[in-house]
Structure 1
Amino acid sequence: MDFCFSKTSPVVETAKGKLRGFHFKGVDHFYGIRYAKAKRFQMPEPVAPWEGVKDAGSYGMNCPVLSEPQPMGEVMIAHRFWPSSEHCQYLNLWTSRCDPAAKKPVMFWIHGGGYSAGSGIEQVCYDGYNLAKKDDVVVVTVNHRLNAFGYLDMSAFGEKYKNSVNVGMADLVEALRWVRDNIANFGGDPQNVTIFGQSGGGAKVTVLGQIPEADGLFHKAIVMSGVMGPGRDKNAVKGRELVLEILKHLNIPESEAQRLEKVPTAQFIWAVNRAVKSLYKQGKHVNWGPMPNDYYVCDPLEKDFTESSLRVPTMVGSVIAEFAFGPGKDIKNMTKEDSEKLVKEFYGPEGGEKILKEFGRIYPETNAAFAVDADDMFLAPTVDYVKKKGREASAPVYNYLFAKVFDYDGGKAAWHCSDIPYFFGNGEMVPVCHQENWEELQKVMRGAFVNFARTGDPNTEGLPKWEKCADGGMVTMVFDDRCRTEVNMQDEFLRLLAEYKPKFNFEFGAPADDEDDEEGGSAWIF
Structure 2
Amino acid sequence: MNTRREFIKKMGACSTSLMLPGILFPFTSFYGNRGTSNWVTTEINTGKIRGIRNDGVSVFIGIPYAGKVSGNRRFRKPGVMSAWTGIRDTYELEAPAIQGPRRGEPTPAEDCLFLNVWTPANDGKKRPVMFYSHGGGFVIGSGGSAGQDGSNLARNFDVVVVETNHRLGMLGFMYLDEVAGSEYVGSGNMGLLDIVEGLKWVHENIHVFGGDPNNVMIFGESGGGAKTSCLYAMPDAAPYFNKASIESGPGVRMLTKDMAAQNTEYVLQEFGLTNKTWRKLLDIPTDEILKVQAKVPFTPPYQGKSTNQKAADPTPVGFGPVVDGIALPYHPFDPIAPDISKDKPLMVGWNEDEFTFFMWERRDTEFPTLDFDGLKVRLESQFGEDTPKIIETYRDSLPNASPADIYIAVSSITMIGLGSVEIAQRKLEQGGAPVYLYNFGYKSEVKIPGTDYAMGTPHAMDISFKFNNEIPPKEGEPDRPSFFGGGRPERFQASHNMAALWTSFAKNGRPLVKELPEWPAYSLSNKATMRIDAQCEIIKNRYAKELEMWTEIGRLNE
Q: 1:440 to 1:270 in 2, by over 3 A?
A: closer
**1:473 positional shift:** 5.3
Aligned twin of 1:74: none
Is the partner of 1:476 in helix, strand or coil?
A: strand
1:135 to 157, 161, 181: 157
Is the partner of 1:323 in helix, strand or coil?
A: helix
Question: Match for 1:221: what amino acid?
Answer: A
1:383 to 411, 421, 445: 421
Question: Match for 1:416: what amino acid?
Answer: H
Within a 5 Å distance, the mapping from 1:43-122 to structure 2 comes to: 43-65=77-99, 81-100=105-124, 102-122=125-145
- Deviation by residue 1:19-42 (Cα, 9 ceiling, x = unmatched): 111111111111100000231010
Aligned twin of 1:492: 545
Is the partner of 1:216 in helix, strand or coil?
A: helix
244-253 vs 155-164, which moves further: 244-253
Aligned twin of 2:359: 326
2:181 is the alignment partner of 1:154: no
Aligned twin of 1:145: 167
**Alignment partners' CA distance in 2, 1:157 and 1:476:** 47
% of aligned pairs identical? 29
Question: Match for 1:163: what amino acid?
Answer: G
Q: 1:244 to 1:401 in 2, by over 3 A?
A: closer
**Alignment partners' CA distance in 1, 2:492 and 2:371:** 30
Is the Cα–Cα contact under 8 Å of residues 336 and 430 in structure 2 kept in the other structure? no
**Alignment partners' CA distance in 1, 2:164 and 2:335:** 29
Is the Cα–Cα contact under 8 Å of residues 351 and 500 in structure 1 kept in the other structure? no
**Alignment partners' CA distance in 1, 2:42 and 2:349:** 36
Question: Match for 1:49: what amino acid?
Answer: A
168-177 vs 108-117, which moves further: 108-117
Is the partner of 1:176 in helix, strand or coil?
A: helix
2:447 is the alignment partner of 1:404: no
Q: What are the ranges of 5 or more consecutive residues in structure 2 without an aligned counterpart?
A: 1-31, 299-309, 380-386, 472-479
- Deviation by residue 1:393-447 (Cα, 9 ceiling, x = unmatched): 4212111001232212232321111111111001247244232411121111111
Q: 1:19 to 1:352 in 2, by over 3 A?
A: same
**1:46 positional shift:** 4.0
2:291 is the alignment partner of 1:270: yes
2:40 to 10, 16, 19: 10
Q: 1:269 to 1:355 in 2, by over 3 A?
A: closer
2:500 is the alignment partner of 1:467: no
Q: 1:345 to 1:304 in 2, by over 3 A?
A: closer
**1:199 positional shift:** 0.8
Is the partner of 1:213 in helix, strand or coil?
A: coil
**Alignment partners' CA distance in 2, 1:191 and 1:275:** 40
Q: What are the ranges of 5 or more consecutive residues in structure 1 without an aligned counterpart?
A: 70-78, 504-526
Within a 5 Å distance, the mapping from 1:236-275 to structure 2 comes to: 237-239=259-261, 241-252=262-273, 254-273=275-294
Q: 1:162 to 1:109 in 2, by over 3 A?
A: same
Is the Cα–Cα contact under 8 Å of residues 438 and 530 in structure 2 kept in the other structure? yes
2:407 is the alignment partner of 1:372: yes
Question: Match for 1:191: what amino acid?
Answer: N
**1:301 positional shift:** 2.6
Is the partner of 1:212 in helix, strand or coil?
A: coil
Is the Cα–Cα contact under 8 Å of residues 3 and 23 in structure 1 kept in the other structure? no
Aligned twin of 1:414: 457
Is the Cα–Cα contact under 8 Å of residues 263 and 319 in structure 2 kept in the other structure? no
Q: 1:256 to 1:29 in 2, by over 3 A?
A: same
Is the Cα–Cα contact under 8 Å of residues 111 and 200 in structure 1 kept in the other structure? yes
Is the Cα–Cα contact under 8 Å of residues 143 and 165 in structure 2 kept in the other structure? yes
Q: 1:97 to 1:162 in 2, by over 3 A?
A: same
Is the partner of 1:189 in helix, strand or coil?
A: strand
- Deviation by residue 1:341-371 (Cα, 9 ceiling, x = unmatched): 99789777775453133236xxx9x889633
**Alignment partners' CA distance in 2, 1:311 and 1:214:** 14
Q: 1:339 to 1:24 in 2, by over 3 A?
A: farther
**1:309 positional shift:** 0.9
Q: 1:323 to 1:390 in 2, by over 3 A?
A: same
Aligned twin of 1:426: 469
Aligned twin of 1:354: 393
**Alignment partners' CA distance in 2, 1:197 and 1:216:** 19
**Alignment partners' CA distance in 2, 1:323 and 1:475:** 23
Within a 5 Å distance, the mapping from 1:150-299 to structure 2 comes to: 150-155=172-177, 156-230=179-253, 237-239=259-261, 241-252=262-273, 254-273=275-294, 282-299=314-331
Aligned twin of 1:524: none
**Alignment partners' CA distance in 1, 2:87 and 2:456:** 48
**Alignment partners' CA distance in 2, 1:356 and 1:321:** 17
379-388 vs 248-257, which moves further: 248-257
Is the partner of 1:451 in helix, strand or coil?
A: helix
Is the Cα–Cα contact under 8 Å of residues 296 and 318 in structure 2 kept in the other structure? no
Is the partner of 2:203 in helix, strand or coil?
A: helix
Is the partner of 2:277 in helix, strand or coil?
A: helix
**Alignment partners' CA distance in 2, 1:412 and 1:383:** 23
Question: Match for 2:50: what amino acid?
Answer: R
**Alignment partners' CA distance in 2, 1:90 and 1:198:** 19
Q: 1:500 to 1:169 in 2, by over 3 A?
A: closer
Question: Match for 2:85: what amino acid?
Answer: E
TM-score (norm 2): 0.77
Aligned twin of 2:66: 36
Root mean square deviation of aligned Cα: 3.5
Within a 5 Å distance, the mapping from 1:440-479 to structure 2 comes to: 440-471=493-524, 474-479=527-532
TM-score (norm 1): 0.81
Q: 1:343 to 1:3 in 2, by over 3 A?
A: closer
Aligned twin of 1:518: none
